[in-house]
Chains A and B, each alone.
Chain A
Amino acid sequence: EAQVTQNPRYLITVTGKKLTVTCSQNMNHEYMSWYRQDPGLGLRQIYYSMNVEVTDKGDVPEGYKVSRKEKRNFPLILESPSPNQTSLYFCASRDDKTETYEQYFGPGTRLTVT
């Protein structure tokens, strides 16, 4: 089944404790992206990657890092989480071959930083 998976789905952590949220897709998509969803703000892009070893900042990159060593994986790293990073996070991948640029979303990771 074609899908985007994320782990963990729920995470409660404390300020300053490094964490990684994994994202994996099995559709051989080159483009992947991370978003955070906050009430009244919709989804905002954190980072994106056009291909392996090619990453760039989105609209709200502060406090986050990403890496793209393999095509299928795009982990999101919070080196020193803070309470303002409490949010719902979505990973997505995109099929650029169709030129419709439709994105496929993972199930989401709900992060709480205390």
Chain B
Amino acid sequence: AQSVSQHNHHVILSEAASLELGCNYSYGGTVNLFWYVQYPGQHLQLLLKYFSGDPLVKGIKGFEAEFIKSKFSFNLRKPSVQWSDTAEYFCAVTLSGGYNKLIFGAGTRLAVHP
């Protein structure tokens, strides 16, 4: 069955540290890839998405992600985190065909300490 794996369930960083959150998916076909963020008490917001073209995607708030097709990965990065980045981050994949189902990873909870 298709799945999305996020390697880290909880990450704790100090402000200005660099961030990389891992995401791998298991599906051999064409995919669209997303990172969503959920700030405490809020709904999901789209950080960035990969549809086609340049595998290095830049999103809002200084985030970026790189699609590496050979590794089935779409890791999220930020060079220098801020306290306001404290949130839960979800990787999601849309599988082509059928009704283009969106499959979410379990999420990574990030806490940034001042």
Contacts and interface: CB of A to CB of B under 8 A. Distances in A.
A90 B45 CA distance: 12
A70 interface: no
A45 B94 CA distance: 13
Given A90-B44, A102-B46, A107-B43, A41 B101 contact: no
A103 interface: yes
A94 B66 CA distance: 24
A108 interface: yes
Interface residues of B, number: 23
Interface residues of A, number: 23
Contacts, number: 47
Given A48-B99, A107-B43, 11 more contacts: A40-B106, A42-B107, A44-B104, A50-B99, A100-B49, A101-B32, A101-B94, A101-B102, A105-B36, A105-B43, A106-B43
A43 interface: yes
B9 interface: yes
Interface of A: 31, 33, 35, 40-45, 48, 50, 56, 90, 96, 99-103, 105-108
